[in-house]
Homo-oligomer: A and B are copies of this chain.
Amino acid sequence: MFSAQTYQDRRTVLKSSISSGILLFLGNIENPVNFEHNPYYFRQDSTFLYYFGIQEPRIAAIIDIDENKTIIFGDELSIDDIVWMGRQETLKEKSLKSGVSETLPYAELPKYILKAKSANRKVHYLPPYQSSNKILLSDLLGIKIAELQPSVEMIKAIVKQRSVKEAQEIVQIEQAVNVSNEMHLLAMLTAKPGIKEYEIANAIQHLAGNKECGMSYPPIVTINGGILHNHYRLNTLKNGDLFLNDSGAETAMGYAGDLTRTFPVSSTFSTQQKEIYEVVLNAFENAQRLLKPGMKFKDIHLKASQHLVEGLVDLGLMKGNPKEAVQNHAHTLFFQCGLGHMMGLDVHDMEDLGEQYVGYTEEEPKDTKTFGLKSLRLGKALESGFVVTVEPGIYMIPELIDIWQAENKNAEFINYDKVNEYRNFGGVRIEDDFLITNDGYRLLGNGLIKTVEEIENYRKEHLS
């Protein structure tokens, strides 16, 4: 945990931006796998972590703006619990570390909410993503799940605050990134012909675990990098494959890292692999240089797309004017997703609170229709203190190529004959994490090898 003062200060800022009512914060539970008492690992809700820092299931908190009170609700261990789970720090003790002196049994929460509602006071709450909290909110408020109405006022205030990272949060994120760096170096040493994809996933999770880190998301470790969210891991690596590793660590406090590297299973890139890789790398480096306060991330995304097109024109896969190609979304045959997203206590930071608030503004809302842009999670102007990923890529998806070609879609920009030579190419993505600073950006962590030469040299040196 950070200091009690940290959590108090954060709550003070939040309180000052909400006019009246009660702010309700629900922690997560231990979610059952195949029966109630066989749970998945516990992960506290990120907003709860941000304002209270307590990593314990089945607790909740309220900040009562009207009465200027903060209360944590939860149950102390019974002697039965202590027999089964051992003596632990009490909730009272944990709450004090969060700067909260008042705790009440969990059963008092419904009463508190009922009383507030009877007095016609507003109860602010966030959009629930775990089903248990959907049920809980429905019960607490006496509203059907489908009719829950999260507080936009509360969401906006929290997004504003959590978007700008404190120095101590940056330290945590860099810790996550540095462990992620090690995971990626290990993957580069583990990946060789005959190895299964899941062996690499297991190895990097083992490494992270021994540094007291979890995974900030299910790792994508695949020889089919063209599949964007590929969680199939039973393939065997062979010479000639391109291996894509999109994985990041999560620190014990909950902060994420998120990196991607793509490298050949053979000791060196093939010419085709190297050419595509360098197109992506060039787009990456140009995008990185554009990071600064005031710059709209959507514009960086479009610039990066243009750099990808320029490279693909050079290779003969595309043709015509790159700017016009991007305006016509022709690049989305190869780059179907977004350039990046916010990162912090969540790998897609605050995604549970709603992309429209985290990544966009009311004046410039998200384009939810256009293929490509509808997958861009972040479009708005950057601010100092934001942490973002930059992750351009080129993905060859046979199904998509076939559909576009059958429609002759964007034929003025795409050389389908040439593209078909790449249909089993797979995909290349390069991703790093950046802090937006007053005058630009700073790469988070100690840096991870990225050029063709660096990757080939590293593997040559370390693979026997």
Contacts and interface: CB of A to CB of B under 8 A. Distances in A.
Given A84-B229, A399-B79, A129 B35 contact: yes
A75 to B, nearest CB: 17
A260 to B, nearest CB: 16
Interface in A342-361: 345-348, 351-352
Q: How many copies does the complex hold?
A: 2
A199 interface: yes
A147 interface: no
Interface string A161-201: 00000000000000000000000000000000000001101
A129, A346, A403 pick with most chain B CB within 10 angstroms: A129
Interface string A218-261: 10000010111111101000000000000000000010000000
Given A31-B31, A35-B351, A135-B134, A218 B86 contact: no
Contact of A131 (B130, B201, B205): B130
Nearest to A44: B34
Contact of A348 (B31, B37, B234, B352): B37
Given A131-B134, A135-B131, A202-B209, A39 B218 contact: yes
A212 interface: yes
Given A31-B31, A83-B400, A84-B229, A352 B202 contact: no
30 contacts: A33-B40, A33-B43, A34-B254, A35-B346, A36-B129, A36-B352, A37-B348, A37-B351, A38-B346, A38-B348, A41-B218, A79-B399, A82-B397, A83-B336, A83-B399, A83-B400, A84-B228, A85-B227, A85-B231, A86-B227, A87-B399, A88-B232, A134-B135, A135-B145, A198-B209, A198-B210, A202-B206, A205-B205, A205-B206, A206-B206
* 3 residue pairs, one from A and one from B, having the closest CB atoms: A131-B131, A86-B227, A202-B209
